[in-house]
Amino acid sequence: MANRLINEKSPYLKQHAHNPVDWYPWCDEAFERAKKEDKPVFLSIGYSTCHWCHVMEKESFEDREIAQILNKYFISIKVDREERPDIDSLYMNVCMITTGRGGWPLTIFMTPDKKPFYAGTYFPKEGSYTRIGLKELLLNIAKLWKEDRERLIKRANTVIQHLEENRRPATGKINKDLSGMLQEKLKDSFDPYHGGFGRRPKFPVPHNHLFLLRYFFKTGKENPLSMVVHTLERMRTGGIYDHVGYGFHRYSTDERWFLPHFEKMLYDQAMLIMAYTEGYRITGKRLFKHTVSQTVEYLTDRMLSPEGGFYSAEDADSEGEEGKYYVWDYSELERLLGGEFGLFKKVYDITPEGNYREEHTGKPTGKNILHMKATPEELAKQLDITEDRLYSLMEKWRVILLRKREKRVPPLKDTKILTDWNGLVIAALSTASSIDKKYLVLAGKTADFILMNMKKSDGTLLHRYKDGVSEIEGFLTDYAYLIWGLIELYQKSFENRYLLEAIKLTETVITHFYDPEGGFFETPDFGEKLPVRPKEYYDGALPSGNSVMTYNLLRLFRITGRLEYRDTAIKTVESIAGKLTSIPHGNSMMVLAWDFFNEGGKDVVISGRDISRAVDRIAHIYNPYMTVVAKKDYSLDDYLPHLKSIPVGDEPKIYICENFSCNYPITDLSQIDEMLINS
């Protein structure tokens, strides 16, 4: 029989709809029942493509013994972290404070008034010498709730106090060389052999690369660029990249980007498209350009909904086994590729016994993960063939393997559409349109879908779209990421409506999310009240809403001239000045935003009824510190009052401005390069 989760839209919640556990979704009814029956709450948070969430479900939540204990002593709640990032953020911070680590599945025990007193991640059903099992933990907490409840309540109040303290501003003096400090921190943690930062497991952190590329652009120092190039090459040639179907897996379990955790997340694709695009624009590397086009191809082939939004993720598991969809037998590859197999196995490092080992036993698996020990350019020289010939062969082999792989049972696809992650895709596609203009059309269609389906009549956003229904009040990242996407889309398309939407959404964020002490809360002032209203600054796998919103405000300040945007951004940065100085590597997107503000940069205004020639001329110029505004008519004068005096004629004129002071207009488009690149 199904439990209450059968009526939910979330694919993750539906995965647990036939557990014997008496699950509730997050709702008032669950907490009211906990109060009425005087029971603690068991909260489990995960997401549909989470491997260890699947393991814990099979071991414990499908187990009748565990279900009986939960149903007898607890009120059990399931939360999809992607649907409710506010809940996940709050209780993940609890886990980090109390255990020093986090992850999913996230396991929380709390009082009926939502105050947590115990936190952890994955628990096996039965314990071992080194760790407690879920069965023992449940019985221990049930006993404590009955016999020593005051101890648990005291602990819960202490945890809430810590959360409140951690949320307070870490004000201080902003270091003048934040970007230099961050560059040094990243250099210290850089792996010179395999690329990336830190040791295994290794996660792509694209905003680190975006920062380093811009640091190179402004300083000319080679080391930041070499760190990025080495990392982007190693990720692209490693097993973390899907060489058959394209797109990046979530992370690498080893230090050399070889053995991935096989799930694919929409946000990784978006952020990596931006990193590879900027990497290509600076270096001109063919591999980076191919990576951008291939990752976009993966998104359009596998993740694009018929309505125009992008789905959230693909699972790591298929047929109950992680990575089964993606790995290959030696004999299977030999049979498929025939006489070219000898060259193929050199390119992709294929071995008869399998090229990776079981994690626990160390024994060969007999399976192979496609990866390359060098770039195509380097391999072509080693194999004594031309680079063009190698790329041609790789594509031929890929098509053969893709046809074979598509006959396998595919991983589950999470088909919910999230506003924030689609905002990142809009930003990525708009950025990548400098490589291929058709991406701009796709970005516009996605933006139109989100604005039509996820924006309410009062101007506020909704977070999730599934099966034709939009629900859940929008969070800070929904606004911040979508505004980012709209600004990038405007900077490439110069359609006024996208800039206007970005401005209006920014006003909504300031009205409903801003904290007068500095920074933005994760939830709006009209949202659900949690024990602590979450506020996040840390730039982890994704940049925080605060960092992106700061970047948005500073860009819109340059575009609109509105001083309140600048002042709000500065106060946000000042509110965490202490953290920026002590751990700049934990706030790389915020440092990027601050660097954008302090570097100055040129503001370009194109006026004229036909600006296409001027736009095409400027499009090839890479300058991440530049903003561009197009004045095709006078409709934006109320929003851009500092540009009211600029006339609009038939022929395009270009004004280059600094500190809101513009030079005489340029009518000879051949002068633009000299003015923007060489000055």
* In 51-177, alpha helices (H): 51-56, 64-73, 85-99, 134-147, 149-167
Does the structure show a pLDDT above 90 at 460? yes
Q: Render 255-268 in DSSP notation, one character per residue.
A: TTS-SEE--EEHHH
Percentage of residues of the chain with pLDDT beyond 90:
80
Domain limits of the chain? 4-167, 178-322+414-599, 328-407, 603-676
Tell me: pLDDT of 670 over 80.
no
Q: Is the pLDDT of residue 352 over 70?
A: yes
Q: Is the pLDDT of residue 171 over 80?
A: no
Domains 4-167 and 178-322+414-599 equal at CATH topology level: no
**pLDDT tens track for 581-613:** 888 899 999 999 999 999 878 899 998 888 888
Q: Is the pLDDT of residue 357 over 90?
A: no
pLDDT at residue 309, rounded to an integer: 97
The class of domain 178-322+414-599 in CATH terms is: mainly alpha
Instruction: For the chain, give the mean pLDDT.
Output: 93
Per-position b or e across 577-586, b if 16+ CB within 10 A of its CB: bebbbeebbb
CA distances, 224 to each of 58, 188, 218, 287, 563 (Å): 45, 12, 11, 19, 33
Residue 358's pLDDT band (cuts 50, 70, 90): confident
Instruction: Output helix, strand, coil percentages for the chain, rounded to the nearest 5.
Output: 50, 15, 35
Cα–Cα distance for residue pair 571/393, rounded to 1 Å: 55
**What local confidence, expressed as pLDDT, does residue 287 receive?**
97
In this predicted structure, the answer to whether residue 535 has a pLDDT above a threshold of 60 is yes
The dihedral through the CA atoms of 204, 206, 209, 213 has a sign that is positive
Using 50, 70 and 90 to split pLDDT, how confident is the model at 170?
confident
Is the pLDDT at 1 greater than 90? The verdict is: no
Report the pLDDT averaged over residues 162-189.
Answer: 87
Q: What is the pLDDT of residues 222-277, one digit of tens each?
A: 999 999 999 999 999 999 999 999 999 999 999 999 999 999 999 999 999 999 99
- Is residue 108 within 8 Å of residue 84, measured between CB atoms? no
Residues in contact with 630: Cβ distance below 8 Å, sequence separation at least 6, in sequence order? 494, 605, 606, 607, 611, 615
Give pLDDT tens digits for 93-149: 999 999 988 899 999 999 999 999 999 999 999 988 788 999 999 999 999 999 999
- Cα gap 327→312, rounded to integer Å: 23
Report pLDDT for 500: 97
Peptide bond into 534 cis (omega under 30): no
202-225 exposure pattern, b = at least 16 Cβ within 10 A, e = fewer: bbbbbbbbbbbbbbbbeeeeebbb
pLDDT at 301 over 80: yes
* Predicted confidence (pLDDT) at residue 679 exceeds the cutoff of 60: no
Tokens linked to 205 = 């952190």
pLDDT at residue 677, as a whole number: 64
Tokens at residue 29, please? 């009814």
As beta bridge partners, residue 46 has 80
Question: CA–CA separation, 653 vs 602, rounded Å?
Answer: 16
pLDDT bracket for residue 664 (50, 70, 90): confident
Q: Where are the alpha helices (DSSP H) in 561-611?
A: 563-574, 577-582, 588-599
pTM of the model: 0.95
Task: Quote the CA–CA distance of 496 and 165 in Å, as a whole number.
Answer: 43
Higher pLDDT, residue 659 or 353: 353
Residues 6 or more apart whose CB falls under 8 angstroms from that of 68 comprise 20
pLDDT digits (tens, 9 = 90+) for 365-400: 899 999 999 999 999 999 999 999 999 999 999 999
* Integer Cα distance of 481 and 474 in angstroms: 11
Closest CA to 196 of 228, 223, 244: 228
Q: d(Cα 471, Cα 26) in Å, to the nearest integer?
A: 14
What does DSSP say about strands 469-473 and 462-466: parallel, antiparallel, or unpaired? antiparallel
Query: Collapsing DSSP states into helix, strand and coil, what is residue 304?
Result: strand
Query: Contact at 8 Å (CB) between 605 and 559?
Result: no
Tokens read off for 392: 């041609």
What pLDDT, on the 0 to 100 scale, is given for residue 168? 77
Tokens, residue 274: 């931006």
Confidence of residue 678 (pLDDT cuts 50, 70, 90): low
Q: Measure the CA–CA gap between 287 and 233, rounded to whole angstroms.
A: 8
Does pLDDT of 658 surpass 90?
Answer: no
**Using the 8-state DSSP alphabet, how is residue 660 labeled?**
T
30-80 per-position pLDDT tens digit: 999 999 999 999 999 999 988 899 999 999 999 999 999 999 999 999 999
Q: CATH classification of 4-167 is 3.40.30.10, yes or no?
A: yes
What is the token pair recorded at 598?
A: 């302090």
DSSP-based three-state secondary structure for 481: helix
Q: What is the pLDDT of residues 398-422, one digit of tens each?
A: 999 999 999 999 999 999 999 999 9
Rounded Cα–Cα distance for residues 513 and 587 (Å): 20
The least confident of 14-28, 155-169, 284-298 is: 155-169
Which residues neighbour 27 within 8 Å (Cβ) at sequence distance 6 or greater?
none
Listed in sequence order, the DSSP H helices in 494-576 are: 496-512, 545-560, 563-574
pLDDT score of 131: 86
Q: What is the pLDDT of residues 334-349, one digit of tens each?
A: 999 999 999 999 999 9
Tens digit of each residue's pLDDT (9 = 90 or more) over 81-93? 999 999 999 999 9
Cα–Cα distance, 560 to 612 (Å, whole number): 22
